[in-house]
Amino acid sequence: MATALRNARVLLADGFDDDSVVLVDGGRIAAVLPGDAAVADAEVVDLDGGWLVPGFIDVQVNGGGGALLNNTPTVDAVRTIARAHRRFGTTGLLPTLISDDRDTMRVAIDAVRDAIAQGVPGVLGIHLEGPYLAPSRKGTHDAGKFRVPDADDIALATSLDNGLTLVTLAPERVPERAIRALVARGAIVNAGHTAASYEQARAGIEAGITGFTHLYNAMSPLQGREPGAVGAALEDRDAWCGVIVDGVHVHPASLRVALAAKPRGKLLLVTDAMPMVGADTPDFVLYGETIAAVDGVVRNAAGALAGSALDMASAVRNSVAMLGLPLDEAVRMASTYPAEFLGIDDARGRIAAGHRADLVLLDAALQVRATWIGGEPEWRQR
């Protein structure tokens, strides 16, 4: 039976609409109807005046629910991570592998392939954050894992055959021919953890880089005589930039500068989440070192930021509170724009007829009340 979602403020192409019914059937949005439309053949669900928005898509999720992909690259871990983030409105994600050796990469890719084949809700592919990175901008990555990709690396990194692959690399460390090869084999390539000069970052863009991983963090800064990777990211009209809006990774003023510099739609929210999201424990182990969140800030023993304790619903709320964005635009940064970045906006990221019924219901405080993935609902208890 079809489901009619009624009595909500629905985010449509032109903004929120208070008088629409979303008809869900067979895992997709069958129609968006006027509020007084007859829906006699559907189960009517009253959404109590909440905000109904497209499901959030997070392209950088290292862990959640106590699981870290590097430590347990298994289908069960992928399922745990996806389930943990669903509680916070994420209906699509790329489990992210931090720089590691070839064997771990192979096992993680296999786990994601199997998770997708088994229909684990929300899993879209994998993000390989490294190991083709710059030691001077390593953050919490283990520089001992870093290397320049050869033909075998390129084949491995692009071996996921039933989902999306995002690769983050340092363009000054990776030959342009290797970037082109990754793109030719279907990977989306971002610059990140990079000490690239402006010229090196531009060369990477010309070779096929289309985005920047966690803008400002772990990359060469914008300066008066050396624009660096940040300058290249902000200047390029087509480049996508992920941003971590937690009030820790980037100052809100710097994020407002990015919003002013980039064309609308080119900034997308990411969490860079670690295992404590959706878990009761504030710490985890990475590369044999215990890392803990203190007052919500995740750092390793050397003081480097080590991912975040951020969830996507909080990122949306922070974008409204810290950056002064209207709710509809904050939501687009969590849903529509990531879908466009990944090239899946023909089916995800909008509430429109024909799109997948991946949805989030927010209450007046912008807390998640319910999610739908492929039309299947999950309600959170108050």
* Order of strands across the sheet that contains 9-12: 15-17, 9-12, 51-54, 359-362, 368-373, 376-379
Which residues sit opposite 3 in a β-bridge?
A: 24, 43
Is the separation of the CB atoms in 228 and 198 below 8 Å? yes
Annotated binding site for substrate: 140, 217-218, 225, 249, 305-307
Lookup: tokens for 154: 């390129």
Q: Indicate if the alpha-carbon torsion angle 247, 253, 258, 259 is positive or negative.
A: positive
Cβ partners under 8 Å of residue 357, min gap 6: 24, 27, 28, 29, 372, 374, 375
Indicate the pairing of strand 90-98 with strand 125-129. parallel
Amino acid at 13: A
Q: In sequence order, what DSSP letters do the residues of 227-250 get, joined into one string?
A: -HHHHHHHH-SS-EEEE--SSSSS
Nearest alpha-carbon partner for 336 in 345, 323, 325: 345
Q: Would you mind telling me the total number of residues written for the chain in this entry?
A: 382
Binding-site annotation: residue ranges: 129, 140, 193, 214, 217-218, 225, 249, 305-307
Distance CA 147, CA 131 (A): 6
Cβ pair 81, 61 in contact under 8 A: yes
Write out the DSSP string of 153-207.
HHHHHT---SSEEEEEE-TTTS-HHHHHHHHHTT-EEEE-SB---HHHHHHHHHH
Rounded CA separation 9/11 (Å): 7
132, 147 in Cβ contact below 8 A? yes
Residues with catalytic annotation? Answer: 272
| Binding-site annotation, residues for Zn(2+) | 129, 193, 214
